[in-house]
Amino acid sequence: MERDKAFRAISEYYNETDLDTELRKGSVLKETSKGLFVPTNMRLAYEFFNRIRLEEYSRFIDLGSGDGRIVLIASLFTQAEGIEYDDGLYQCAQENKKKLGFNAEFSKGDMLEHDISGYDSVFMYPDKEISPQLNEKLKRELKGDLFVFTSTFLPEGLETEEVNVDFMKFCICRNTKNI
């Protein structure tokens, strides 16, 4: 399948860059002014996107898109965008997009200031408890589904469905008041 081949290209590229980063810096984790960048497991995300049929969604955004890996994987299914506050990670995502040649968009900015009401699929990998500001934003603007990698930190007041992919628990959150 063509999508599987494209995913392998993304996965191999990021595995190589992660290994290089670990050798040079000791870790792929990066502390930013907004939180900790922890790369999402690409294979699990790809399997999750297949399971939920991400291609049936029209617009995807990753809030805190880091180095762009999830946005590029999502672009194999649908129109995909990412927003990242950290300039270094944003520049890295732009460079990765250019090197891999996939069609995705990245914005540098604060997710709290970015209107998400036009997206029917929103992705997050929170590294800490969801702030009251972000929680209110989600309740106000979320029109589609929120995909949360892990069930550790979830927004309050949204309907939640768990989806197991191997050892990982993804959550699909819906704002039933905005549907």
Q: How many CB atoms lie within 10 A of CB 74?
A: 28
| Distance from C-alpha of 6 to C-alpha of 135, rounded to nearest angstrom | 34
| Distance from C-alpha of 42 to C-alpha of 137, rounded to nearest angstrom | 27
Q: What is the DSSP letter of 102?
A: -
- Work out the burial of residue 153: count CB atoms within 10 Å of its CB; fewer than 13 is exposed, 13-18 middle, 19 or more buried: middle
- Closest CA relative to residue 160, chosen from 139, 178, 149, 175: 175
Note the pLDDT of residue 175.
85
Note the pLDDT of residue 178.
59
| Distance from C-alpha of 131 to C-alpha of 13, rounded to nearest angstrom | 33
Domains and CATH numbers, the chain: 2-174 (3.40.50.150)
The model's pTM is 0.94
| Distance from C-alpha of 97 to C-alpha of 105, rounded to nearest angstrom | 9
Which residue positions in the chain have pLDDT lower than 50?
Answer: none
Are 124 and 147 spatial neighbours (Cβ–Cβ below 8 Å)?
A: yes
Note the pLDDT of residue 1.
67
| Distance from C-alpha of 63 to C-alpha of 48, rounded to nearest angstrom | 17
**Residue pLDDT, tens place only, 66-100:** 999 999 999 999 999 999 999 999 999 999 999 99
Note the pLDDT of residue 47.
97
Are 121 and 144 spatial neighbours (Cβ–Cβ below 8 Å)?
A: yes
* Helix (H) / strand (E) containing 10: helix 2-25
